[in-house]
Amino acid sequence: MITRPQSNSADSADTWLVNLPPTAQQSRIALAVAVLLLVGMGATALFADAPLPRIDAFIPAIEVAVILTSLITAVLLFSQCWIHHSRALLALASGYLFTALIVIPHILTFPGAFSPTGLLDAGLQSTGWLYIFWHAGLPVALLIYAFNKGEKLTEPITQSSTLFAVGCSVAIVVSLVCGLTWLATAGERFLPRVFLDATHLAPLSHYVVGFEALICVVVLAILWGRQRSVLDQWLMVVTLAFLSELVINGLLISARFTLGFYASRIFSVVTSTIVLIVLLDENTRLYGRLARSNAMLQSEQNNKLMNLEALAASISHEVRQPLTAIVAGGSALLRYLGHTPPKLEKLRSAGERMIAASHRASQILDDVRNLFGTAEREQVSVDVNDLALSALRALDSELKNHNIRTRVKLKAELLPVMGHSGQLHGVIVNLMQNAIDAMDAVDDDRRVLQVRTEHNGGDAVSVEIEDTGPGIDPQKSADIFDAFFTTKAHGMGLGLAICRMIIERHEGKLSVSSANPHGAVFRIKLPQIKLPH
Ligand code: ADP
DSSP 395-463: THHHHHHTT-EEEEEPPTTPPPEEE-HHHHHHHHHHHHHHHHHHHTTS-GGG-EEEEEEEEETTTEEEE
CA torsion 10→16→21→26, rounded to 10°? 180
Same domain, 101 and 166: yes
Q: What are 87-110's pLDDT values in tens digits?
A: 888 999 999 999 999 999 999 999
Share of the chain above pLDDT 90, in %: 52
Q: Residue 183: is its pLDDT beyond 90?
A: yes
Higher confidence at residue 118 or residue 150? Answer: 118
Is 109 touching ligand 1 by the criterion CB < 6 Å?
A: no
Q: How many domains does the chain have?
A: 3
Share of the chain above pLDDT 70, in %: 89
Same domain, 213 and 323: no
Q: What DSSP designation does 482 have?
A: S
Same domain, 396 and 310: no
Pairing mode, strands 405-409 and 380-382: unpaired
Is 493 touching ligand 1 by the criterion CB < 6 Å?
A: yes
E strand or H helix that includes residue 466: strand 460-466
- In total, the chain counts a number of residues equal to 533
Query: Which residue has a Cα nearest atom 8 of ligand 1?
Result: 493
Same domain, 262 and 392: no
Nearest 5 degrees, angle CA 238-CA 244-CA 249? 130
Is 293 touching ligand 1 by the criterion CB < 6 Å?
A: no
Q: What is the Cα–Cα distance from 24 to 36, expressed in whole angstroms?
A: 18
pLDDT band for 153, please (50, 70, 90 cuts).
very low
Is 469 touching ligand 1 by the criterion CB < 6 Å?
A: yes
> Are residues 439 and 468 in contact, defined by beta-carbon separation less than 8 angstroms?
yes
Q: Residue 156: is its pLDDT beyond 60?
A: no
Task: Write down the pTM of the prediction.
Answer: 0.58
> 438 CA distance to ligand 1 centroid (A)?
8
> 26 CA distance to ligand 1 centroid (A)?
54
Q: Residue 4: is its pLDDT beyond 70?
A: no
Same domain, 427 and 512: yes
> 499 CA distance to ligand 1 centroid (A)?
11
Is 499 touching ligand 1 by the criterion CB < 6 Å?
A: no
Same domain, 108 and 254: yes
Is 371 touching ligand 1 by the criterion CB < 6 Å?
A: no
Query: Which residue has a Cα nearest atom 14 of ligand 1?
Result: 486
Same domain, 318 and 437: no
Pick the closest to residue 379 from 481, 507, 532 (CA basis): 507
The pLDDT score that the predictor gives to residue 325 is: 86
Residue 161 lies in a domain: yes
Q: What is the CATH number of the domain that holds 441?
A: 3.30.565.10
Q: Residue 150: is its pLDDT beyond 70?
A: no
Q: What are 270-309's pLDDT values in tens digits?
A: 999 999 998 888 888 888 778 877 777 776 666 556 666 6
Is 438 touching ligand 1 by the criterion CB < 6 Å?
A: yes
* Closest ligand 1 atom number to CA of residue 493: 8
> 94 CA distance to ligand 1 centroid (A)?
69
Count of H-run helices and E-run strands, the chain: 14, 7
Nearest 5 degrees, angle CA 350-CA 353-CA 356? 155
> 157 CA distance to ligand 1 centroid (A)?
65
Average pLDDT across the chain, whole number:
86
pLDDT band for 322, please (50, 70, 90 cuts).
confident
The pLDDT score that the predictor gives to residue 303 is: 58
Residue 275 lies in a domain: yes
Is 480 touching ligand 1 by the criterion CB < 6 Å?
A: yes
Residue 75 lies in a domain: yes
Residue 14 lies in a domain: no
Nearest 5 degrees, angle CA 347-CA 352-CA 358? 130
Q: What are 471-500's pLDDT values in tens digits?
A: 998 888 888 998 778 888 777 777 898 889
Interhelix angle 230-247/203-224, rounded to 10 degrees, is: 160
Is 520 touching ligand 1 by the criterion CB < 6 Å?
A: yes
Query: Which residue has a Cα nearest atom 11 of ligand 1?
Result: 486
Pick the closest to residue 387 from 422, 360, 346, 357 (CA basis): 422
Same domain, 495 and 477: yes
Q: Residue 6: is its pLDDT beyond 50?
A: no
Q: Residue 140: is its pLDDT beyond 70?
A: yes
> DSSP string spanning 137-185?
HHHHHHHHHHHH-SGGGGS-SSSS-HHHHHHHHHHHHHHHHHHHHHHHH
Residue 15 lies in a domain: no
Which of 320, 355, 376 terminates a domain? The answer is 376
Is 426 touching ligand 1 by the criterion CB < 6 Å?
A: no
Helix (H, G, I), strand (E, B) or coil at 382: strand
Query: Which residue has a Cα nearest atom 13 of ligand 1?
Result: 486
> 393 CA distance to ligand 1 centroid (A)?
21
Helix (H, G, I), strand (E, B) or coil at 467: coil
Pairing mode, strands 520-527 and 509-514: antiparallel
Same domain, 147 and 137: yes
Residue 450 lies in a domain: yes
> DSSP string spanning 184-213?
HHTTGGGSPPSBSSSSBBPHHHHHHHHHHH
Is 427 touching ligand 1 by the criterion CB < 6 Å?
A: no
Is 492 touching ligand 1 by the criterion CB < 6 Å?
A: yes
Same domain, 337 and 416: no
Is 503 touching ligand 1 by the criterion CB < 6 Å?
A: no
The pLDDT score that the predictor gives to residue 3 is: 34
Which of 264, 288, 312 terminates a domain? The answer is 288
- Enclosing domain of residue 199: 54-288
Q: Residue 70: is its pLDDT beyond 60?
A: yes
The pLDDT score that the predictor gives to residue 302 is: 63
Higher confidence at residue 295 or residue 322? Answer: 322
* Closest ligand 1 atom number to CA of residue 494: 6
